[in-house]
Chain A
C-alpha cells in the first residue's frame, strides 16, 4: 500500500511568488491534515479536511494560504504571495475516517525556502 506522498520535495522561491504544494493521502483515508514546521519550532497544525470539507482551519496563519481538496482525494496548499517567514517544512498526514489521531500517517514533507 502506497503511503502519503507529497510534491515537490523541495521548493525554492522568491518572496512575492506563488507556490503550490500537493499531497496525495493514502487511498480511502477521509481525514487529511496539513502541518508546518518552521526552523527551530515545533510541528504546528494548519488545517484538517474530512473528505472535501474543511473541518478545522484554525491553524492557517493568514489569508495568503489557501487549501483545497477537490473531490476528496488529493489536496493542494497554495501560498500567495510567499513571505520569508513561510519557509519551513510542510507535512501532510492522513487517517481513516474514525481513527483520527490514533492512526495518522505522515508524508515526507515539502521543504519550502523563500528567499
Chain B
C-alpha cells in the first residue's frame, strides 16, 4: 500500500521568502511525483511533476527529488500572498494512473 506523508502545517512564511514544502513516500519503486495546489473550496490544480533525481525549475517553483531518501520537496521562491493554499503531493499507483495523495500542507504567506 503506497503512502505519501506530508506535514499538515500550517506553514507560515513572510512575503518574499522561500517556502519549503516536504513530502516522503513509502514505495521505493515510485517513479514520478506530482505537486498540486488547492485553494480553499477549489479543485486541485497540477503545478509541477518530477521523475528524475535532482531539481526541476518552473518559474518561482522548484521541485526536488531524492529517490534514495524517498523524499520530494517543493520550493516556492519570492512567496506571494496569492501562494497561500494547500499543497498536495501525489504519486501514481503502480501500473496505473490514479493518484495517491498526501494530506497536504497548508501554506500561509503573510504580507
How many A-B residue pairs lie within 8 Å, measured between CB atoms?
Answer: 60
Contacts A42-B4, A43-B44, A108-B42: A101 and B92 contacting too (C-beta < 8 A)?
yes
> Residue-by-residue, is B11-47 near A (CB-CB < 8 Å gives 1, otherwise 0)?
0000000000000000000001010100001111110
7 further interface pairs, Cβ-Cβ under 8 Å (given A56-B93, A100-B96): A33-B97, A35-B101, A42-B104, A56-B96, A101-B49, A101-B92, A107-B43
A104 at the interface (CB under 8 A from B): yes
| Interface size bracket, A side | 20 to 34
Whether B92 and A100, one on each chain, are in contact in the complex, defined by CB atoms closer than 8 angstroms, is: yes
A109–B44 CA distance with the chains assembled, in angstroms: 10
A69 at the interface (CB under 8 A from B): no
Residues of B within 8 A of A22 (CB): none
Query: Which of B's residues lie within 8 Å of A, judged by CB?
Result: 4, 32, 34, 36, 41-46, 49, 88, 90, 92-93, 96-104
Q: B97 is contacted by which of A35, A41, A101, A109 (Cβ under 8 Å)? A: A101
Shortest C-beta distance, A51 to chain B (Å), equals 14
A53 at the interface (CB under 8 A from B): no
A33–B108 CA distance with the chains assembled, in angstroms: 30
Of the A-B pairs whose beta carbons lie under 8 Å apart in the complex, a sample of 13, sorted by A's number, is A31-B97, A33-B98, A43-B44, A45-B100, A48-B98, A56-B93, A56-B96, A56-B98, A95-B97, A101-B34, A104-B99, A105-B46, A108-B43
Instruction: With a 10 A CB-CB cut-off, give which of A31, A56, A101 has the most chain B CB atoms.
Output: A101
A108–B42 CA distance with the chains assembled, in angstroms: 5
Whether B49 and A102, one on each chain, are in contact in the complex, defined by CB atoms closer than 8 angstroms, is: yes
